[in-house]
Chains A and B, each alone.
Chain A
């Protein structure tokens, strides 16, 4: 199985998980890592390690992060460049839904492009789109 970790500032990770569960029901292989104002880089890394451990045995792990350049993204980089890890920043609910839906069917090599594209496609401005189609 492909394990998923939501990591970010404040309650974003748990809130994302709750939103997903509202749409898709409870999920296994999905952990969260929430960071607060008072944690050091090392403590954030430790929290991420713990989330990894809670996932248990996985064929690969995907970290979904809220903000590029935020502390959780620096923690993800501290694992080095590994073949069994993916880390997406600017993650949105569409990416999470897609990831959970296809993770057991897709080849690991194809997952990166597909989830990136899902995330990009999800960002739209609907009023402008509607005006243009009217």
Chain B
């Protein structure tokens, strides 16, 4: 699974999809699922993979119907850690999450180079970490995985919104 608020874009299209060797990409996002043109463009951006776009809730039911072997070849992308938690709470098993693009906004702080978090986002990451999920912050595969402990991160202010 990957968290990236741009979904399939330059970095993901060019590097991650071939790196993980996914046969199917599932984008679970409520706003994107309602955006017909945006969805078409996302699909056209990964021409060699099957791209499925669902709301988070529909994504949960869709993924639940897949068997273990099918799930191995599916790369799920959500826009924020809160949605990743929704998938987990919905019964989707995840061991590893690649944290990709998090956007800089007025209400976020840069807790690590290029990693921007608001309060809600940090809380969601801390919960994911508490559940023992391997959180791997790398924009592209050739970057080195940093030693990050979300439980040690404290924000000065700001609210994270999804």
By a beta-carbon cutoff of 8 Å, the part of chain A in contact with chain B is: 9, 37-43, 67-71, 73-74, 77-78, 80-81
Contacts and interface: CB of A to CB of B under 8 A. Distances in A.
B41 A73 contact: yes
Contacts of A81: 37
Contacts of A71: 6, 9-10
B58 to A, nearest CB: 21
A77 B39 CA distance: 10
16 contacts: A37-B114, A37-B139, A39-B103, A42-B103, A43-B103, A43-B104, A68-B44, A69-B8, A71-B6, A73-B45, A74-B6, A74-B7, A74-B41, A74-B42, A77-B40, A78-B37
B46 interface: yes
A68 B139 CA distance: 19
Q: DSSP majority for the B interface?
A: loop
Given A71-B10, A74-B42, A41 B5 contact: yes
Given A67-B10, A69-B9, A71-B6, 4 more contacts: A43-B103, A43-B105, A70-B9, A71-B9
Contacts of B44: 68-69
Contacts of A69: 8-10, 13, 41, 44-46
Contact of B38 (A38, A70, A78): A78
A42 B38 CA distance: 13
Contacts, number: 56
A40 B105 contact: yes
Interface in B1-39: 5-10, 13, 37-38
Interface range on chain B (Cβ under 8 Å from partner): 20 to 34
A12 B74 CA distance: 33
A9 B45 CA distance: 16
Nearest to B10: A70
A9 B101 contact: no
B101 A37 contact: yes
B116 interface: yes
A118 B56 CA distance: 43
Task: Specify which of B10, B13, B46, B116 lies most central, judged by the most chain A CB atoms within 10 Å of its CB.
Answer: B10
Nearest to A73: B41
Contacts of A43: 103-105
Given A38-B114, A77-B38, A70 B5 contact: no
Contacts of B6: 40-41, 71, 74
Given A69-B46, A74-B42, A77-B38, A38 B10 contact: no
Contacts of B13: 69-70
A69 B25 CA distance: 15
Interface in B67-116: 101, 103-105, 114, 116
